[in-house]
Structure 1
Amino acid sequence: MTIFFAPLRLAPRPTEPQESVWKLLLEVTPIQWGFFFVGWLAWCCDAIDFFSVSLSVTALGEQFDRDTTKITQAITLTLLFRSVGAVLFGVFSDRFGRKWPLVFNLLLVAVLELGAGFCNTYQQFLAVRSLFGIGMGGIWGLAASTALENLPVGLRGIGSGFLQQGYAVGYLFAACISLKLVPAVHPGWRALFWTGAGISAFGAAVRAVLPESAVFQKAREAAEKHGFISEKEKTRIFLHETKEMLKKHWVLCIYAVLLMTGFNFLSHGSQDLFPTYLEKTKGFSAHDATIATIISNCGAVSGGIVAGYVSQFLGRRITIVVFVCWVAVFIPLWILPSTFGGLAAGGFWVQFGVQGAWGVIPIHLAELAPPAFRATFPGVAYQLGNMVSSASAQIEATGGDHLKTTLNGKSVPDYAKVQGIFIGCIAAFTLFITVIGPENHGSHFEKHRAAFDEGGGSDEAYIDEEGAAAAASAKETDLEAGDHENEKASEERISTEKQTA
């Protein structure tokens, strides 16, 4: 049962001795490593492709003769259409498997990224980037389910942190390509898009070589043990189970979208215009702005890994709260300095907090999701949040048009003040949504049946008795912790009443 307004508390203490992280890592099989790597790589490709626009705003403005606000419209349209891709590819993955939907998804992204590099007009560029958003929308849910469902439960926290920082690593790769390759070749900004297309095609090839997810295959075999069911009948069952899931979990769906709205505003508000902010408000060269971006993404990678690991012990929500507070503390260092060192340090520590909080999200959403919909639910929630936050770059660009500062005697957009206010407000909203929400730490979602199995959409639909026993043990631990808290509160109340008497 999903409980909102639950008190923040540490992760439930395991009832049995737990193996160390290092021992668990040594026990991971090559195929499990392959699943995790390809999920990480897919998410990395998504970031390279998305941030190709952010890193090329100035060059695109010169190419298409448009100002920053107009160019950022391409970012907005990409984010708007990502929810369509999340629904399509998420449903395909939960219905047909993890393998081929992700292969097709990555190939689609590669083709559209390649096409973006051949655009000669602003209208063509907007059209291609809009379609591109559909392709990008499916990747996160498929990548997370592929990477995490095959890992041992004890590694999912740190695995979540590593997986999510595929996005920061992708941004890092894109920044390095923009720094070294783009200025050195005649096509200029187009080379960044074409390189991103090649990396996405490579990701598709790697996924095609690997087998179907072992966990999904196990769920499929369990469904077939009930007797032969045609593909048409499986689809009918899947649609029925989806309808029942939405009727039961509609409040959880709304909550997940609100949570991801806050997180997406937080990341896009601190990333999309960061190079532009350094160039136009602080007077950095494009080279120095790119170097600062690389440094900030090193902070992002570090924060995500640390937070993912820590969440195994502190719990998912407490870890998010700690890292969002970290962001708020370092906002002044993000906006006040004028030197390269100060601003690069601000970028490093703010992104340490932003992507630290984000590092918990893949596993947090996977644990909250109805188990049979681990690709659809997190992916759609993520991308609907992306859709709501799609205007982040345009909001900041418009704010910069109205809030001005002086740089070398010239009036320039004051992106420092705009981003400081924006990030501060979003951090407060994200904290509130996280605190009031539920948590399902340590969920054994890998033991659940598939959504195309009759009754498989239920939260209690386990493949075997072992799965049911693990879930019952987890619930018992949570109940014992709740009883302990209630007893403590009762004792405190009785003590207070005696003192008053």
Structure 2
Amino acid sequence: MEAAQADAVPFEPDGTQRLQWHVYILCGLVAFLDGFDTQAIGPAADAIAASIGIEIKDFGPVFSASQIGFLIGAMIFSALGDRFGRKRLLVAGTLIIAFSSLGTAFAGSYHELVAIRILAGLGLGGVTPLFISLASEFAPPALRARVVTMLWAAVPIGGMMGSFTSSVTLSQFGWQAIFFIGGGAPLLLVPALVFLLPESREVQRGSNDHGAPRLRVSPIGALFGEGRGVATLWLWLASWMIWMLLVVVGVWTPSLLQRAGWTIPMAALMLGLLNAGGVAGTFLIGAGLRYVPPQRALMLALIAAAAALVMLGTFAHSFAVVAVAASLAGFFSSAAGGCLLALSASLYPERVRATGVGWSLGFGKTGAVLGPLCVGLLLGFQWSTASIYSAIALPGLLAAVLVFLLSRTSTFRAAIKQ
């Protein structure tokens, strides 16, 4: 059905196409920086831990700190964006990312680092539902799922660059250099966001004669109104499982591989391959949504990601197998994240879309907070690398079941046909 709809999309005037590409490119750059900051800390974790005087097994709360900030930012910024302007909140979130990344480089103690990473997560979580909802709003309805999923590819591209940059800078310039880069780039992007990115049309329609956004009833209740309650519940639970999987794989893979005997640069390289697989998977599966329903693609991607993670842990001492398994894990897990965002954006109407995406992300990030802490506990209990990766794979299988339940709701069926 979507293929037929896509073929029926009318030709857009040049001005409209130019505006759409401005939105896609700028939102993609924000997504890129989101991925860069999120993944940069993983390869640097051992060096940071040594610098502030803690053991790597105690680094779990640092990883979880940014996830706590993420869930708060995703929920607060999305609701504020739907009411007061998605563009202005996106600019504010980008500035927070910049200053918190620079602050990470100057953290001198464990408690300072945790506080700064909470702030970093606030910005990272705040911008994500906003760039997703803006890109979704300006995309033709028949292409929305593909645009959102392929936009998500910018996140693993940023993560891949963060991983590869870390592998180079760690030995030559120290771990602080990666965060100087991660802080400077968002500052350079802010002027482009201010002058080139349009404001949401929904917010513009809600403005008064003086251009100030008119206050409206909170959109949060709309996520459960009009028969959406059951669909929202399944979406949130699936998001919980998927984000636990995504974040744990990203932040703990370098340390788990080092525990299996890999050097820091080689572990960072494997994380880079994981992100490279994520780029390819998000683009290819995003393009494939022309032919495959997003819920079916998401279920298949989750099952395949779980299988790849089990393979990665089981053969952690084999360079060739780990390289393939890491690439496949990135391919399918990142594609799953993109498909999930596409489903979130499709489930809710435009007036509350940022809130719908943001609260789904926020709830999902509670799983992302718990996941790194659990891996730290498993390391403390002396679990093997293979056993830990098998445990990480389990949420992927559970998420596939939850997506199936979501796809059976009447609300989802009605929304996906629009």
Kindly indicate whether the alpha-carbon contact (under 8 Å) linking 1:396 and 1:415 is maintained by their aligned counterparts in 2.
no
Structure 1 residues 149 and 123, CA gap change in structure 2 (3 angstroms): same
Please tell me the residue identity of whatever aligns with 1:352: F
Distance between the aligned counterparts of 1:433 and 1:16, measured in 2? Answer: 28
Match of 2:385 in 1: 415
Matched, 1:95 2:95: no
Q: CA deviation at 1:229?
A: 9.1
Partner of 1:18: 8
Secondary structure, in 3 states, of the residue corresponding to 1:120?
A: coil
| Structure-1 residue corresponding to 2:120 | 132
- Taking the aligned partners of 2:16 and 2:210, their CA distance within structure 1 comes to 34
Alignment of 1:100-111 (within 5 A): 100-111=88-99
Letter in 2 for 1:160: V
Cα 1:299/1:89, change in 2 over 3 Å:
same
- For residue 168 of structure 1, the aligned residue among 142, 152, 156 is 156
Show the counterpart of 1:78.
66
**What's the % identity of the aligned pairs?**
18
- Are 1:433 and 2:402 matched, yes or no? yes
Q: Give SS of 2:71's match.
A: helix
The question of whether the paired residues in 2 share the 8 Å contact of 1:399 and 1:415 is answered with no
2:186 is aligned to 200
- Corresponding position: 1:277 with 2:263: no
How far the C-alpha of 1:435 sits from its partner, in A, is 0.2
Structure 1 residue 288 corresponds to structure 2 residue 266: yes
Give the residue type in structure 2 aligned to 1:82.
Answer: F
Write the distance in 2 (CA, Å) between the matches of 1:147 and 1:64.
40
Q: Deviations over 1:142-174 (max 9, x none)?
A: 110122221223433332232112221111111
Show the 5 A alignment for 1:304-453.
304-337=282-315, 338-404=317-383, 414-423=384-393, 425-438=394-407, 440=412
Alignment partner for residue 302 of structure 1, among 280, 285, 291?
Answer: 280
Displacement of 1:355 in angstroms is 1.3
Structure 1 residues 142 and 278: CA distance shift in structure 2, 3 A: same
TM-score, length-scaled by structure 2: 0.90
CA distance in 2: counterparts of 1:147 and 1:268, whole angstroms: 23
Q: Output one character per residue of 1:330-349: Cα deviation in whole Å (capped at 9) or x when no partner.
A: 34431232221211111011
Q: Is the 8 A contact 1:333 1:345 kept in 2?
A: no
**What do the CA deviations read for 1:12-32 (whole angstroms, capped 9, x no partner)?**
674795369xx8899972221
Task: Tell me the residue number matched to 1:42.
Answer: 30
Are 1:190 and 2:176 matched, yes or no? yes
- Equivalent AA in structure 2 for residue 41 of structure 1: L
Give the CA deviation at 1:140.
Answer: 0.8
Larger Rg: 1
Distance in 2 separating the partners of 1:83 and 1:332: 28
Distance 1:427 1:395, change over 3 A: same
How many angstroms does 1:296 deviate by?
1.8
Q: SS state of the match for residue 80, structure 2?
A: helix
Contact kept in structure 2, 1:98 and 1:212, CA below 8 Å: no
Q: 1:201 to 1:418 in 2, by over 3 A?
A: same
Matches within 5 A, 1:129-278: 129-185=117-173, 188-213=174-199, 216-217=200-201, 219-220=202-203, 222-223=205-206, 234-235=214-215, 237-239=216-218, 242-243=220-221, 246-248=224-226, 249-278=228-257
**What RMSD in Å do the two structures reach over aligned CA positions?**
2.8
Residues 27 and 284 of structure 1: CA distance in aligned 2, closer, same or farther (over 3 Å): farther
User: Using the alignment, how far apart are the partners of 1:221 and 1:295 within structure 2?
Assistant: 42
Letter in structure 2 aligned against 1:415: T
Q: Residue 268 of structure 2: SS of its match in structure 1?
A: helix
Could you tell me how far apart the structure 1 residues matched to 2:349 and 2:180 are?
38
For residues 9-67 of structure 1, what are the alpha-carbon distances to aligned partners after superposition, in whole Å with 9 as ceiling and x for unaligned?
xx5674795369xx889997222111111111112212222223212111011111111
Q: Does the 8 Å contact 1:161/1:304 carry over to 2?
A: yes
Decide whether the 8 Å contact of 2:3 with 2:290 is kept in 1: no
| Gap runs ≥5 in structure 2 | none
Contact 1:81/1:387 (CA < 8 Å) preserved in 2? no
User: Equivalents in 1 of 2:78, 2:336: separation in Å?
Assistant: 24
Deviates more, 1:267-276 or 1:149-158: 149-158
| Structure 1 gap segments, 5+ residues each | 1-10, 405-413, 445-473, 476-501
Instruction: Summarize deviations over 1:412-459 as a string: whole Å, max 9, x none.
Output: xx2222112331x21221111000004757969xxxxxxxxxxxxxxx
Residue of structure 2 in register with 1:407 after alignment:
none
Structure 1 residue 138: Cα displacement: 0.6
Amino acid at match of 1:48: F
Quote the Cα distance in structure 2 between the aligned partners of 1:92 and 1:179: 38
Higher helix share: 2
Contact 1:102 / 1:204 at 8 angstroms: preserved in 2? Answer: no
Q: SS of the residue aligned with 1:238?
A: coil
Amino acid at match of 1:435: F
The whole-number CA distance in structure 1 between the counterparts of 2:302 and 2:36 is 25
CA distance in 2 between partners of 1:198 and 1:441 (Å): 44
- Aligned-partner SS, 2:296: helix
SS of 2:369's equivalent in the other structure is coil
Shift of 1:92: 2.3
